Every structure is written in C-alpha cells, then in structure tokens.
Structure 1
Amino acid sequence: MKTFKLVALSLVHGEEVEQLDLLDGLIINREYGKENWLIEALLPKINPDKFQAFQKSGDSLHIQATISKPTNDPASFEAVIRNVAVMEERISILFEGELFRKNANYHENLLEQLINEGLSGEELVNAFKDKIKEKPVLEKSK
C-alpha cells in the first residue's frame, strides 16, 4: 500500500465541480490489481446529512482528488462513501473508489467535436485552448 497527502477534494456533478472545504486528508493506493483506493477527508461539520444520504444510498460518486501538492492535476475516481463519522466540529468521510484514466484520444476527439461545431481559425484555436484548461472527460481505467 502507498499513502499520500490529500490536498484538495471535489465532488463532480455532471459539468459542475463542487470544491469541498478540506481541512485534512489522506489517500491510500491499496494496490489490489484494480485501481482500488481509500480516501479519507476531514471536513468542517457543515452538511453531514448530505454525505450520510450518499452513504445510505450506496450510489457511486465522481470525485476529484489532488494529491501531495496543490499544483498537481486532480485524479478522478468513481467512489462510494463507506463511512461518515460526525464529530463535534468536523466530519470524517471515508471513500472507497477506483481511479479513472484520461481518455487517450481526448485531444483528437475534442478537436473533431469543435470542428463539427463549425469552429475554424483563431476561434477554433481559442476554444481548443479553453477546453484543454478544463479537466477533460475521463474514462474508467481498465
């Protein structure tokens, strides 16, 4: 197993990214062959009911975790909440998830999509640069 410092955590809802107010956290690569990870996040006790509802439903969540230092790109996971511990002023959330990998053909697919939308010239270049700055669509690792 390998353990890393968690420096940022977000919930992804379709096109929207909800940055969580992370106080502390860690992420563990369990190295089971599958990309199986444990992520523990310590958050302010703002909305524990939301996380308890996610845990109770057992639904998978798309989360993004930034590891080790804030300048690293976030890694994306499909995760479920295994535990929500509510403390006096904080909550601890334990996620278990699988890593997603970036689609290897992302840039080509993006360029084709923008051309199909009728963009060309400088407009195409600017749209491409803007989309690259956004986090690309991810696919689950195999």
Structure 2
Amino acid sequence: MKTFKLVSMQVWDEDELVDVELEDGLIINKEDENSRWLLEAFIDKKHLSFFSNLRKKEIDVPLQVVITKKDNDPAHFITKIASINEFEEHMSVLFLGSIRHKRNEFAEILLSDLVSKGLSGEKLLAEFKGQMKRAQRLTSNKK
C-alpha cells in the first residue's frame, strides 16, 4: 500500500463540480487485485446532509482530487461512500473506489453530457470551454 496527502477534492453533483474544503485528507492506493483506493476527507460538519444523501442513494460518487501537491494535475475517481463518522465540528468521509486513468475521460464525459442536453455549434463550444476552465480553476486555486 502507498499513502499520499489529499490536497483538494471536488465532488461531481449532477452537472457541476462541488468544491469541498478539506481540513485534512488522506489517500491510500491499496495495490490490491481490484486496483482500489481509499480516500478519507476530514471536513466541516456543515457537509453532513450532502454526503449522507449521497450515501443513502448508494450511487457512484465521482471525485476529482489533487494528490500530494497543489500543482499536480487532478486525478479522477469513481467511488462509493463507505462510511461517515461525525465529530464535534467535523466529519470524516471514507470513499472506496478506483482511479480513472484516462486523462481525457473528464472532457469526454463533459462533452457527451452537453451534447445530450441538445447543445451544438458555438453554444456547445462556449459551454464546454467554460466548464473546462471552471474545473481547471477549482484545482489550481487550492493551497
């Protein structure tokens, strides 16, 4: 197993990235036969209802995270919420999932989603560029 610092995290919620400010975070490459990763986000308890609802739905939770240094490119994961532990003012959310290795996969998913919403031509291009810049800005503004 290999352990790394989780620097920033965004959660895909429908068609947008939701920035989740971390108090602390850890990511572990389990290096098992299923190539699974454990991600732990220690965050403000104000996010409890958001993550509790995601867990109740038992759906895949796509994450975009920056590992080790804020200047690193974001990594994309498909996860499930394994547990939520509450503390006085904070909470710990444990995710179990796998990394999505294709660097262009985010762009492909976004483009497919925009086309499915009926966008084309200049409107498609403008919306695609805007969302790609927004995603990049979210990852590059982390401390």
Query: Which bin holds the TM-score, normalised by the shorter protein?
Result: 0.7 to 0.9
Percent identity, aligned pairs only, is 35
- Pick the structure with greater CA Rg: 1
Question: Aligned letter for 2:72?
Answer: N
For the residue of structure 2 that corresponds to 1:47, the secondary structure is helix
> Residues 1-142 of structure 1: matches in 2 within 5 Å?
1-102=1-102, 117=121
Deviation at 1:41, TM superposition (A): 0.3
- Superposed CA RMSD: 3.0
1:4-23 deviations in whole A, cap 9, x for unaligned? 00000110134411110111
Question: Aligned letter for 1:101?
Answer: H
1:29-83 deviations in whole A, cap 9, x for unaligned? 0111333100000001113122122222221111111100111111011101011
Count matched residues: 124
TM-score (structure 1 length as normaliser): 0.72
Deviation at 1:2, TM superposition (A): 0.4
TM-score (structure 2 length as normaliser): 0.72
Q: Which stretch shifts more, 28-37 or 79-88?
A: 28-37
For the residue of structure 2 that corresponds to 1:52, the secondary structure is helix
Question: Aligned letter for 1:37?
Answer: W
Structure 2: 5+ residue runs without aligned partners?
Answer: 137-143
More helix by share: 2
